Amino acid sequence: MCIKRRFAAGPPPLALYVHWPWCLRKCPYCDFNSHPLSAQRASLQPQAAYVDALLADLDAELVWQPVTQPVETLFIGGGTPSLLAGSELARLLEGIRARLDLSAEAELTLEANPGAVDAQVFTQALAAGINRLSLGIQSLSDSKLHTLGRLHDAKQARQAVAAARQAGCRNLNLDLMFGLPGQTLAEARKDLQAVLALQPEHLSYYQLTLELDTAFARQPPSPPLPEDDVLAEMAEQGQRQLAASGYRHYEVSAYARLSQVCRHNLNYWTFGDYLGLGAGAHGKRTDITTGQVWRRAKWSDPPRYLSASQASQRDPMALLADSHTLHESDLVLEFALNALRLHDGVPLSLFECHTGLPSTRLAAACAHAQQQGLLERSATHLRATALGQRFLNQLLECFALD
């Protein structure tokens, strides 16, 4: 039987994600919606046309559902969005500000790859209002970077970090992977130590996996990835290194100094709302008057997305590849899928605020997870145990059976 959803605290916090779908070269492990520029017809490459499409996309979003609260974070990801010219980035941000109330304290992140930036890119980005940069370092070993198909080498990675600092960036994330082909425990420790020497405020430290529909899935790398027991040791070794260097482990693969967590990603993990603009972008919105929670996705193929953006002036629905409401069981699973990634767990009241459902709706799933030693529950909080964090998929199965 369905329970009437009530949002007594008002709508969840709102974030904005903007997707740039192009990169210079597709990495063999990447399963994101990214396309090498060389594979696109020249007529589809002009950046101005894509910025126009993004703003038309936002206009369509506002027709579907007006925005009544400030936007707390903006994340421009990809692909390689640092390929976007500074003038077009500024025009995009100006167009967003003209349509939305960006909070005065909003976190504005731009992703970049060391092989596709220079000092001018960072200077222009910060001048346009970006206040957080995220660099895809992935490794500081030249041999590993070559195996991963990256365009940059370790020297370029360090130069990119120096350029970001010189431009005035004081909130820098670096992405680093472990479990690379043929990587030993000693190599993983050395790689992490080298990245820590760059003193980022935030580090995304995550395991390389062979995702479906990637070049590595079709033809696994040689040498192969480390065995599972070695991967587990690498993860634990990395956690110790990061803790010793003053980084707080606040999500499965996220570590931050002081209070410089990624607020945009934290909004995802706490089941906040977000607008998704761009080819293949996904969004989640809550209508507190009807109690409905919507998920929407845009066409992922860039040419189709650009064409649909032009048609959206006549038909705002033209941009949508998918649009559906979440049922109760979806809300339970998706809340758990996100919130239980957080190292310190979440208050039960957050479930009520962001799903509109009473916390008792979680009782059966929580009891099942507790019996398996995967979950801790108090009168006010939920938290994955150390075992639950290690076997997160098994923990989520308890909520999928709801």
- The verdict on 352 and 264 lying in the same domain is no
* Separation between Cα atoms, residue 202 and residue 130, nearest integer Å: 16
Evaluate whether residue 301 is within a structural domain. Answer: no
**pLDDT tens sequence across 307-339:** 999 999 999 999 999 999 999 999 999 999 999
- The verdict on 39 and 112 lying in the same domain is yes
Domain final residue, candidates 200, 234, 268: 268
- The verdict on 356 and 217 lying in the same domain is no
- The verdict on 245 and 384 lying in the same domain is no
- The verdict on 226 and 334 lying in the same domain is no
- The verdict on 60 and 177 lying in the same domain is yes
Q: How far apart are the first and last CA of the chain?
A: 13
Q: Residue 42 — pLDDT band, cuts 50, 70, 90?
A: very low
pTM of this structure:
0.95
* Separation between Cα atoms, residue 143 and residue 300, nearest integer Å: 33
Domain final residue, candidates 239, 268, 297: 268
With 70 as the cut, is the pLDDT of residue 98 above it?
yes
State which residues form the domain around 338. Answer: 328-400
Question: Distances in Å between the alpha carbon of 150 and those of 16, 25, 270, 355, 357?
Answer: 28, 8, 32, 40, 45
- The verdict on 195 and 343 lying in the same domain is no
Cβ pair 70, 103 in contact under 8 A:
yes
With 90 as the cut, is the pLDDT of residue 197 above it?
yes
Q: To which residue do tokens 């479990």 refer?
A: 179
Q: Residue 44 — pLDDT band, cuts 50, 70, 90?
A: very low
Domain final residue, candidates 216, 238, 268: 268
With 70 as the cut, is the pLDDT of residue 38 above it?
no
Q: For the chain, what is the domain count?
A: 2
- The verdict on 253 and 369 lying in the same domain is no
